[in-house]
Amino acid sequence: MEIFGVSADSVKALVRFKEKRKLNFALLSDPEHKMIEAYGFWRMKKFMGRSYKGIVRSSVLLGPDGKIEKVWDNVKAKGHAKEILNELQTLK
């Protein structure tokens, strides 16, 4: 199993973030939003009455064949890792 994150941030910013948070998985930089848009996670958002385009935090579980098994859309970071781990346990 492989875990990775995708962000529109620069490689330099992601290296700092990974070191600061002591993450043990790869973070991929997608400043042109090619992958982010392909998965449908670059969408209109609203904050304080203002609309803008941005990344909707989401997770995708890919099967061994590379096909999408499950999508968690618009997730909150708190507790989400446990939710994914629980899903992986049901697949075993």
Q: State the pLDDT at residue 49.
A: 95
CA distance between the termini of the chain? 12
How many residues make up the chain in this entry? 92
Per-residue pLDDT of 20-29, as tens digits, reads 999 999 999 9
Handedness of CA 11, 13, 72, 92 (dihedral sign): positive
Per-residue pLDDT of 8-21, as tens digits, reads 999 999 999 999 99
Per-residue pLDDT of 32-70, as tens digits, reads 999 999 999 999 999 999 999 999 999 998 888 888 888
Global pTM reads 0.78
Closest CA to 39 of 23, 59, 22: 59
Q: State the pLDDT at residue 63.
A: 84
User: DSSP alpha helices (H): ranges in 1-92?
Assistant: 11-21, 34-38, 80-91
Q: Flag whether pLDDT at 1 surpasses 80.
A: no
Tell me if 57 sits within 8 A of 77, measured CB to CB: yes
DSSP string across 13-24: HHHHHHHHHT--
Q: State the pLDDT at residue 39.
A: 92
